Amino acid sequence: MKMKKFFLAAGISAAATVGVMAQKAPEPCGLVPSERQLEWYDREMIAFFHFGLNTFEEFVNEGDGKAPAALFNPTALDCTQWMQVLKSAGIPAGILTAKHADGFCLWPSRYTDYCVKNATWKNGQGDVVREFVDACEEYGIKAGIYLGPHDRHEHLHPDYSTERYKHYYAAQLTELMSQYGKIWETWWDGAGADELTTPLYTHWHEIVRRLQPDCVIFGTKNSYPFADVRWMGNERGEAGDPCWATTDSVAIRDEAAYYQALNEGVWDGDAYVPAETDVSIRPSWFYHAEEDVRVKSVKELWDIYCTSVGHNSVLLLNLPPDRRGLIHPTDSLHVALLAQGLKETFGHNLLAGSRVTATNERGGKFAAKYLVDNDKSTYYAGRDGNVKSDIVFRMSKAATFDCLMAEEVIELGHRTSRWSVEYSDDGRQWNPITEATGKQCIGHKWIVRFAPVTARYVRLRIEDGRACPALHSFGVYRQSELFR
Ligand code: IPT
């Protein structure tokens, strides 16, 4: 009797061990994001602040470096107002153009007179970068710095050479990376910067890494080898479909192929460099009062959100301060309404509480039901070696939806490469959602919109991939009235 009990206990524990084995997390496959890239993905949105001498000139966006420094004179600069705008828009980070292409510096640099030291503003005693980072700190916003590599003012210097400029830029980079606390991102614009070769960036890159190890580097063209995140190929806010985080490490010679690789990524590329989507809320990068009536509408911002954040990218949205040094009320209203619309849309996953079954389920803590538990720490995964899965959601009653969102476990690499979504009244006859048929990329977040559908069943079909699926979430939603 005693022996029998013993065996029984042993048998149970052996079975339990097998169960635990089967629930081991899937191995990562292919290239995976670094800690810096994971932190960056989590931001989802970043604000861009184009501010400088151009703000005070008539319709100039790329000054020639000859405008007098005295022109810089914001009448009511208040960076805490910028932060309030970010807070109401749910944007957790901001990047300031400390120096744009005209070469004018928003901080009192020891290495040039073409800076706030000679501005009318505060009798030359001001420091916009300081006010910016202090406001960021106060509001819990992550500060980033754009130090334009291309510098038209320095080009006017009689002794200009790229070697001389290499050291000038290095000295300024050192000031910014060492005197202003933690810097979360630096932006190496490729515009006008073709003569600045990769060896120069090698030198500058060492400075960033030494002084700010966690700083995300936006790189393009000759700074591409150092990029944590890449340019996405246009300034319209339209990341590709697909938009793989993986791409080719060397810029392809052929122009068209290069732009495609920026916009769509490369599925079997040899580098993990996700796309950042820079776009302005206005036609121009700098503020011009004439454009107050051309601020992108809430609906346009929602479109951009869908083709950036919803295309496995991060949105870098430009909100240029005006001549007072404040964000214009139309811009702040529109981003606040975007945030409200996002909350209204994604606040309620219509699949929450539905019964979930999958043809490919790893089981245990990786069950398919975790797709709809609204918990970032759990996820669904399939069995090793099985890249497909049909996942059926049965809601308690029919619901109307016009939008869907999927999120992959990006730490485990791009896995799924083909997927579709269907709906049904009875769970037997399925209708495709055309816009969500033959999709490729999921990544951090993928959003698809379509004409409203009413159904009780939804089926997510994972049709291909390089490893078993691993997804944090899947949901269907009704778009906020603000977006329709
Ligand atoms: C464009 C640059 O060519 C690219 O490298 C990147 O810096 C991008 O700007 C940032 O938006 S130039 C622009 C006029 C398309």
pLDDT at residue 361 tops 70: yes
Task: Give nearest CA residue, ligand 1 atom 12.
Answer: 191
For residue 27, name the pLDDT band (cuts at 50, 70, 90). very high
- Locate the ligand 1 atom nearest the alpha carbon of residue 231 and give its number: 6
For residue 22, name the pLDDT band (cuts at 50, 70, 90). low
Q: pLDDT over 90 for what percent of the chain?
A: 92
Task: Give nearest CA residue, ligand 1 atom 3.
Answer: 191
- CA of 221 from ligand 1 middle (Å) equals 9
d(CA 166, CA 189): 16
Q: Which residues contact 238 (CB under 8 A, 6 or more apart)?
A: 263, 277, 304, 307, 308
- Locate the ligand 1 atom nearest the alpha carbon of residue 234 and give its number: 15
Q: What average pLDDT score do residues 114-138 get?
A: 98
Taking the alpha carbons of 427, 430, 435, 439 in that order, is the dihedral positive or negative? positive
- CA of 173 from ligand 1 middle (Å) equals 21
- Locate the ligand 1 atom nearest the alpha carbon of residue 188 and give its number: 7
With CA atoms as reference, report the closest residue to 414 among 276, 312, 262.
312
Residues lining ligand 1, Cβ inside 6 A: 189-191, 220-221, 231, 235, 278
Taking the alpha carbons of 171, 218, 296, 349 in that order, is the dihedral positive or negative? negative
Average pLDDT score, the chain: 95
Taking the alpha carbons of 372, 141, 233, 266 in that order, is the dihedral positive or negative? negative
d(CA 92, CA 140): 8
- CA of 278 from ligand 1 middle (Å) equals 9
Q: What average pLDDT score do residues 299-314 get?
A: 99
d(CA 416, CA 469): 6
**pLDDT value for 255:** 87
- Locate the ligand 1 atom nearest the alpha carbon of residue 220 and give its number: 5
pLDDT at residue 9 tops 80: no
pLDDT digits (tens, 9 = 90+) for 365-383: 999 999 999 999 999 999 9
- CA of 4 from ligand 1 middle (Å) equals 75
Task: Give nearest CA residue, ligand 1 atom 1.
Answer: 191
pLDDT digits (tens, 9 = 90+) for 201-211: 999 999 999 99
Task: Give nearest CA residue, ligand 1 atom 4.
Answer: 190
Tell me whether residue 254 is exposed, middle or buried, using C-beta atoms within 10 angstroms of its C-beta: 0 to 12, 13 to 18, 19 or more: exposed
| The token pair that represents 444 in the structure block | 């951090």
d(CA 285, CA 288): 9
pLDDT at residue 11 tops 60: no
d(CA 148, CA 96): 11
- CA of 231 from ligand 1 middle (Å) equals 8
**pLDDT value for 251:** 66
- CA of 317 from ligand 1 middle (Å) equals 15
d(CA 105, CA 117): 9
d(CA 241, CA 299): 20
Most informative mutation of 221, 231, 262, 318 for ligand 1 (most atoms within 8 A of CB):
231
For residue 10, name the pLDDT band (cuts at 50, 70, 90). very low
Helices (H), 240-294: 255-264
Phi, psi of 153 (to 5 degrees): -65, -45
pLDDT digits (tens, 9 = 90+) for 36-65: 999 999 999 999 999 999 999 998 899 999
Most informative mutation of 235, 279, 284, 308 for ligand 1 (most atoms within 8 A of CB):
235
What is the residue whose two structure tokens read 């966690």? 214
**pLDDT value for 252:** 65
**pLDDT value for 254:** 85
Give me the half-sphere count of Cα atoms (radius 13 Å) on the Cβ side of residue 227. Answer: 31
**pLDDT value for 13:** 43
- CA of 251 from ligand 1 middle (Å) equals 14
Task: Give nearest CA residue, ligand 1 atom 13.
Answer: 191
d(CA 43, CA 216): 12
- CA of 188 from ligand 1 middle (Å) equals 10
Q: What average pLDDT score do residues 324-345 get?
A: 98
pLDDT digits (tens, 9 = 90+) for 245-301: 999 987 667 888 899 999 999 999 999 999 999 999 999 999 999 999 999 999 999
**pLDDT value for 132:** 99
- Helix (H) or strand (E) segment spanning residue 392: strand 389-408
Chain Cα centroid distance, residue 251? 21
